[in-house]
Structure 1
Amino acid sequence: MDQPRFLAAVPALAVSDERRAVAFLQDALGFVEFQHEGRGLGILRRDQVELHVWVADGSAPGAERRLAGSVSCRIEVTCVDELHRHCHELGVVHPNAGLSDKPWGTREFAVLDPDHNLITLYERIAPA
């Protein structure tokens, strides 16, 4: 019998203002919003990556306001150097997470969205 396999994951970032978050993701990272229902949820896509932003507004358990800005995700990309140049020009690169090669085989950097959620962008590199 076949075993279940995980095929995709969709990061969902808690934000204080989904329109502001959507604008950031469009301008800084080139995502395109493809669904907005006007209820504090934005769904965006770029290439094969889908990303959701939702408003942590205190309206229900699990949606506490303190959650906005407390999440992170990692997104695998190509041409990470070019993406880093673009984000650096916009001034959104995390001050402690500039572009660097990591011992676990990635070249990566991170950006902070307007709520300070951490989005790490990485490219796999050949081991030394």
Structure 2
Amino acid sequence: MLTSIHPKLPMRNKNVTKDYYVNQLGFSQFGSADYPDYLMVEKDNVQIHFFLFEGLKPKENYGQIYLRTDDIEQLYQSLLDNDTAIHPNGKLQTKPWGQKEFSLLDPDNNLITIGQEV
């Protein structure tokens, strides 16, 4: 009966988060209402929600999401072409568990891992 999931991640500054997800990752803002403490973005069939947490200490943030794609090579290259920083330990590689993956850190240190089955 479940049909989808929309993770909620912390953000310290809505404008910074929106800029990163829209201009670096290619998401669009979602929803008709613009709440000062909440942000929703979407791309393809994925939505990510953010809640304001001004006291968040990025080095203590363990927010994480795992996104799946069907064209990881093209997505990875498009992010490189857009000068999007790839996590220093998260370059595109095939993992022993049968996934090709890479990782990003958003401005609040939320870990975004993107993978495709090999």
Does structure 1 conserve the Cα–Cα contact (< 8 Å) formed by 2:24 and 2:84? no
User: How many angstroms apart in 1 are the aligned matches of 2:101 and 2:113?
Assistant: 7
CA offset digits 1:8-63 (Å, max 9, x no partner): 111111011122111111122211102352322111111111111111135xxxxx
Deviation at 1:6, TM superposition (A): 3.0
Task: Tell me whether 1:19 sits opposite 2:15 in the alignment.
Answer: yes
Bigger mean CA deviation after superposition, 65-74 or 18-27: 65-74
Letter in 1 for 2:41: L
Q: Percent identity?
A: 25
SS at match of 1:73: strand
Task: Tell me whether 1:123 sits opposite 2:116 in the alignment.
Answer: yes
Does structure 1 conserve the Cα–Cα contact (< 8 Å) formed by 2:10 and 2:52? yes
SS at match of 1:98: coil
2:89 equivalent in structure 1 = 96
Gapped runs of 5+ residues in structure 1?
A: 59-64
User: How many angstroms apart in 2 are the aligned matches of 1:69 and 1:85?
Assistant: 27
- Counterparts of 1:102-113 in structure 2, within 5 Å, are 102-113=95-106
- Greater relative contact order structure (CA < 8 Å, 6+ sep): 2
How high is the TM-score relative to the length of structure 2?
0.85
Does structure 2 conserve the Cα–Cα contact (< 8 Å) formed by 1:22 and 1:53? no
Count matched residues: 115
Structure 1 outlier segments of 4+, above 4 Å: none
Gapped runs of 5+ residues in structure 2?
A: none
Deviation at 1:99, TM superposition (A): 0.3
Which of 100, 103, 107 matches 1:114? 107
Deviation at 1:76, TM superposition (A): 0.6
User: How many angstroms apart in 1 are the aligned matches of 2:30 and 2:91?
Assistant: 30
Task: Tell me whether 1:83 sits opposite 2:75 in the alignment.
Answer: yes
Does structure 2 conserve the Cα–Cα contact (< 8 Å) formed by 1:15 and 1:69? no
